[in-house]
Amino acid sequence: MSAPRAAVGGRALAGIGLVLGAGACFSALDTTTKSISASIPLLMALWFRYLFQALATTVVVLPLRGMRVWRTRRLPFQLLRGVLLLTSSFCAFASLKYMPVGEFTAIVMITPLAITVLAATVLKEHVSPLRWTLVAGGFAGTLVIIRPGGEAFTWASLLPLLLVASNACFQVLTSKLARTEDPVTMHLYTGWTGTALATFTLPFVWTTPTEWWVWAALCFMGAMGTIGHFMLILAYQRASAATLTPFLYAQIGFAMLGGYLVFSHVPDSASMVGIGLIAFCGALGAWLTVRERRAAAEAGV
């Protein structure tokens, strides 16, 4: 193996490791969110999580990059991206209050499939019949987990679908901005937009925690969210999205482990079928993306 090829392979492996680490961080964030959801208002937890991320990012980045890191040619879209991520985070926090972590994470993982629908309907991109089959399979897996009409079904079961919709829009906008904008600048604007909007709700929801572990959990949530997003940025600097996407589904396993360790919850057999169907369709979709991009590169497209 030549030195350049070995270096590329090493960067790809580093990217995969960073994605797996990010998945573990996000699962820890979700598990902690669920554990404290009965102790403090969701909007207060959401504000603390964003404030921690915004402050930590600013403290690390500003001395290295200076005020030029704030420069952007797409300010309205930067702010819209922050609004979309805040909406996704609120839906996630609300969902976790009522749903097991593993099942919730599996439903969120249909986001790449939802992006396929957006690409076909909004961006007018061609989508192959096989991809439509995978989309149908992913949503079928979601229905198996939610089970509309079943005894366990409540309105809260639909919250993850709202999260998927807002997150899919967030991902599409991110892919557009990433072509011209600095990822660190995007990260800063996202954090401070969420913090600013969540701050407006504080007078209506503030409750001072009286137990030390709640403060510790809030700090832990902020740290996990911040570290997880930084690891994703570093991962995508080292490997392509097509290479990394299949490994994002490892987050389902981390989430199920967290749910078991903290809440002693194991998904029932039907939920396991739904989780497996979502993971299979999503991972196969990512593999198709890799194959299509390689074919396009070989054809010189």
pLDDT tens track for 41-69: 888 988 988 998 899 889 988 898 889 98
pLDDT of residue 216: 92
Is residue 163 within 8 A of residue 91, CB to CB? The reply is yes
Per-position b or e across 204-233, b if 16+ CB within 10 A of its CB: eeeeebeeeebeebbebbbbbbbbbbbbbe
State the distance between the two ends of the chain, measured CA to CA, in whole angstroms: 27
Least confident window among 25-34, 70-79, 161-170: 161-170
Number of domains in the chain: 1
Helices 241-248 + 269-299 axis angle, to 10:
170
Is residue 232 within 8 A of residue 276, CB to CB? The reply is no
Q: Which residues contact 132 (CB under 8 A, 6 or more apart)?
A: 116
Q: Give the domain range for residue 41.
A: 3-299
Model confidence pLDDT, tens digit, residues 240-292: 766 777 787 888 888 888 888 888 888 888 888 888 888 888 888 877 777 77
> Which H or E run includes 124?
none
Residue 117: what residue type?
Answer: V
pLDDT at 199 over 90: yes
Is residue 178 within 8 A of residue 186, CB to CB? The reply is yes
When pLDDT is cut at 50, 70 and 90, the band that residue 79 belongs to is very high
